[in-house]
Structure 1
Amino acid sequence: MAEKLQTPRPGGRRLYVALGDSFTEGVGDRSKRLPNGVRGWADRVAEQLAKAEPGWEYANLAIRSKRLRHIIAEQLEPALAMNPTLVTLYAGGNDILDFGTDIEDLMDDYEHLVAALTASGATVVLFTGFDVKVSVLLEPLKRRNTLYNRRVRELAAWYGAVLVDYWCFDAFHDPRMWDTDRLHMSKAGHKYLAAQVLDQLGVRHTISLKEWEPPARLGLRDWERRQRRWVHDWVLPLFGRKLRGVTLGDRLSPRWPEPVRVPAKGGLKKLLP
């Protein structure tokens, strides 16, 4: 296995725990059979780990819409109690989109979380955030994203974490890498990210990525129609939820709350009836 992964726990146990929000839960990569109706890059990483070296276990505690404070309060202790070999963490993206967020306070809390995870002895993987071009209305948040990414890079170096510099992936400038809400990755985006994570860990994998022709240019009429549909289907419901103080993750549970042994053949779907 890759040098970047720590020595297995006593008894040879290898456990991967994924923490975070919708990014890690797998939103945008739909799968009716899997928990919460999604698959995502973390499931794909777990499956490839088991293919490369059978015996890996996997838990995914991420739930969509969670803020950093929720991840610390709800996911940190359960993750540490599992004694993981590998932890992936993406947290803070939803906080950046909240207009009242103090980015310095946010990153102080983020550092405490990273410190606790790395102190466990697990290999910890951190992610920068991508500069999603959703709307000019969100451009004021670009500075927050820049500060977030700078601190994540610094903390990865300081604490010896593996960095997946998502911000640098030019492939995500292609709109086909994004779901219809323009904030979450599509199936193709999740596959691409899974491959990047595995590459950073030095794990051989069998993920094949699409080679697309350049995207077709939209005419003005088609562009306007898509804009109207996006506002109707995603923007207005989002603001409605904010006004009501609810989120899409309020009634959801983690997809894989307890470690499961990942089949070396057949993937996680093989575990389901």
Structure 2
Amino acid sequence: MGSERRAGESDSGSPRWSSFVAVGDSFTEGLADAEGDGFRGWADRLAERISVDNAELRYANLAVRGKLIRQIVTEQVPQAIELEPSLVALTGGGNDIIRPGSDPDLVAELFDDAVCRLRKTGADVLIGTGFDTRGTPVLRHVRGKVGTYNAHLRSIADKHGAHVMDLWAMTVLQDPRAWCEDRLHLNGEGHRRVALRACEALGIPTQQDWNEPWPEPPELSWSEQRAEDIRWAREYLAPWISRRLRGVSSGDGRQAKRPCLEKLTAHN
């Protein structure tokens, strides 16, 4: 992109986006970052931070839990393009990568096409890498595929001039206190830290540090840890496996939580 001024930069070079659209799956929908009757999430938190510099910011979130990359690319990306935003956050592919037999090279091809189409509109694009899954009980076996996919994502970002939110390097998220009880989705604190990481990727100053160390964790006995693992397997792991075997998605029949570009209301 050379010395061209990005869509989100003012004449002084500081970020000033007038509209922001987020697309993706449960991660960007904000699942498990509960607020009222819905969910907040890192993308909403990022929009709130951008609105501090531009109170006229209009924001849409098209992400829906459970969506695969092809669904994101064919359903959400065209909607995002129609909204003509100056900034788009695109994350996805994780639900594909964790499926047996999935090919990260093919997932990356679809992602590449989406970034290309979005950048051709003149919008800035923020993408996120996959998490390092070595500390998760369900997903550690796909760590190699996530690493391959991340290499593709960085290449795609370089090729199209996209911003990269490096989630793999966020070792602070390997602490279980960043995750909700299902151990698959970030909780509010995890989403807060990711939003700060997104700000860093976009060059937006903040007063907080996403890498702030956690306080010392409470000590649990072996029996307490075992009881927690058994409860988690019964309440979360078994239903998750059942949905996969039945080909059922948690996002079936769901609509985007914020389908139109709208100004943000004050957040308490």
TM-score by length of structure 2 reads 0.89
Q: Is the 8 A contact 2:17 2:87 kept in 1?
A: no
Aligned residues, how many?
Answer: 257
Kindly state the Cα deviation for residue 124 of structure 1 after the two structures are TM-superposed.
0.3
For residue 256 of structure 1, the aligned residue among 251, 255, 258 is 258
In structure 1, what is the equivalent of residue 197 of structure 2? 196
1:27 deviation in Å? 0.7
Tell me how far 1:191 sits from its aligned partner. Answer: 0.5
1:22 corresponding residue in structure 2: 26
Q: Return the alpha-carbon distance in structure 2 between the equivalents of residues 75 and 45 of structure 1.
A: 19
- For residue 222 of structure 1, the aligned residue among 199, 221, 224 is 224
Change (3 A) 1:208 1:151: closer
Residue identity opposite 1:152 in structure 2: L
**Could you say which residue in structure 1 is the equivalent of 2:245?**
243
Q: Quick one: higher RCO (CA 8 Å, sep 6+), 1 or 2?
A: 1
The verdict on how the C-alpha distance between 1:139 and 1:193 changes in structure 2, with shifts beyond 3 A counting, is closer
Displacement of 1:142 in angstroms is 1.4
Q: For 2:184 and 2:147, how far apart are their aligned partners in 1? A: 17
Q: Does 1:151 align with 2:152?
A: yes
Q: Distance in 2 between matches of 1:7 and 1:154?
A: 23
Match of 1:44 in 2: 45
TM-score, structure 1 as length reference: 0.88
Give the Cα separation in 1 of the matches to 2:55 and 2:139.
44
- Quote the offset at 1:13 in angstroms: 7.7
- Structure 1 residues 97, 13: CA separation in 2 closer, same or farther (over 3 Å shift)? closer
**C-alpha separation in 2, matches of 1:189 and 1:13:** 25
User: What displacement does 1:170 show?
Assistant: 1.8
Structure 1 letter corresponding to 2:232: W
Work out the CA distance in 1 between the residues paired with 2:17 and 2:200. 22
1:54 deviation in Å?
1.4
Higher helix proportion (structure 1 or 2):
1
Residue in 2 that maps onto 1:213: 215
Q: What's the secondary structure of 2:64's corresponding residue?
A: coil
| Closer, same or farther: CA 120–166 of 1 in aligned 2, 3 Å | same
- Contact 2:97–2:145, Cα closer than 8 Å, also in 1: yes
C-alpha separation in 2, matches of 1:101 and 1:6: 35
Aligned position for 2:184: 183
Identity of aligned residues (%): 34
2:180/2:186 contact within 8 Å kept: yes
Kindly state the Cα deviation for residue 145 of structure 1 after the two structures are TM-superposed: 0.5
1:87, 1:124 within 8 Å by CA — same for their partners in 2?
yes
User: How far is the alpha carbon of 1:244 from its aligned partner?
Assistant: 2.2
Distance in 2 (CA, whole Å) between partners of 1:73 and 1:197 is: 25
Distance 1:31 1:170 in 2: 26
Distance 1:86 1:59, change over 3 A: same
Instruction: Please list, as runs of the form range in 1=range in 2, the aligned pairs for 1:55-74 lying within 5 A after superposition.
Output: 55-74=56-75
Q: CA deviation at 1:139?
A: 3.5
Residue 166 of structure 1 aligns to a residue whose secondary structure is coil
Question: Are 2:17 and 2:54, in contact at CA under 8 Å, matched by a contact in 1?
Answer: no
Q: CA deviation at 1:214?
A: 1.9
Which letter does structure 1 place at the counterpart of 2:262? V
Long gaps (5+) in structure 1? none
Deviation at 1:141, TM superposition (A): 1.3
Cα distance in 2, alignment partners of residues 161 and 106 from structure 1: 18
